[in-house]
Amino acid sequence: MSLMKDLTNGIYKENPVFKLALGMCPFLAVTTSVENALGMGAAATFVLIASNFLVSLFRNLIPSKVRIPCYIVIIATFVTLVDMVMHAYLPALHKSLGIFIPLIVVNCIILGRAEGFANRHPVLNSIADGIGMGVGFTMAMVVLATFRELLGNGTWLNMNVLGSAFRNQPLLIAILAPGAFILLSFIMGFFKILETRKGGRQ
């Protein structure tokens, strides 16, 4: 039962982006297209699950004084693994995600979950939490990327949705950096409204 709770926790209730405001750097930077968002999400989810698993497994062996360096080494190792494997087998995606793959190392979500969850929960729960958080992060990125790609390029997952008339004059700002901030604030505002409404009813 609690396993299920840990799994769904990251998807909405403690969504790393919209609720905890973690991992903003990759979130804002790679959401220029849904394809990038999915790729980044998959990579981050893999690292998250793997690091949560290992941190939880060795939580009693790692002395608490050096736990942060140990977590960083574990995370960095997995990020480098993902980087190499992606470079070898998915070169196109690797090229478009560019610098953001190595930057998963400093994604606060991953260290945050290692420190905040995995180091005091059993292995299975930690894996569940990693999956939930990873899926939540990916979903949040897909939501923002959907808006940015649709408005800024007229496409969704590279499919032409809004027609060529729109594509000639898209709302370019959506795909540029300021558009990411503006749209993020609108999405967060939307969640805030939902929450207030819910809170009002209780």
Verify binding: residue 3, another protein, rule CB under 8 A: no
CA angle 64, 100, 154 (to 5 degrees): 140
Number of residues that bind another protein (CB under 8 A): 36
Please answer whether residues 51 and 76 qualify as being in contact, where contact means their C-beta atoms are separated by less than 8 angstroms: no
Within 10 angstroms of residue 186's Cβ, the number of other Cβ atoms is 11
Binding mask 101-130 for another protein (x = CB under 8 A): ------------------------------
Q: DSSP alpha helices (H): ranges in the chain?
A: 2-9, 24-30, 34-57, 67-89, 91-97, 108-116, 123-153, 163-168, 177-201
The residue written with tokens 């819910």 in the block is 198
The stretch near another protein (CB under 8 A) out of 19-27, 78-86, 100-108, 128-136 is 78-86
- Binding residues among 45-74 for another protein as defined by CB under 8 A: 61-63, 65-66, 69-70, 73-74
Binding site for another protein (CB under 8 A): 32, 61-63, 65-66, 69-70, 73-74, 76-77, 80-81, 84-85, 87-89, 91, 98, 152-153, 168-176, 178-179, 182, 185
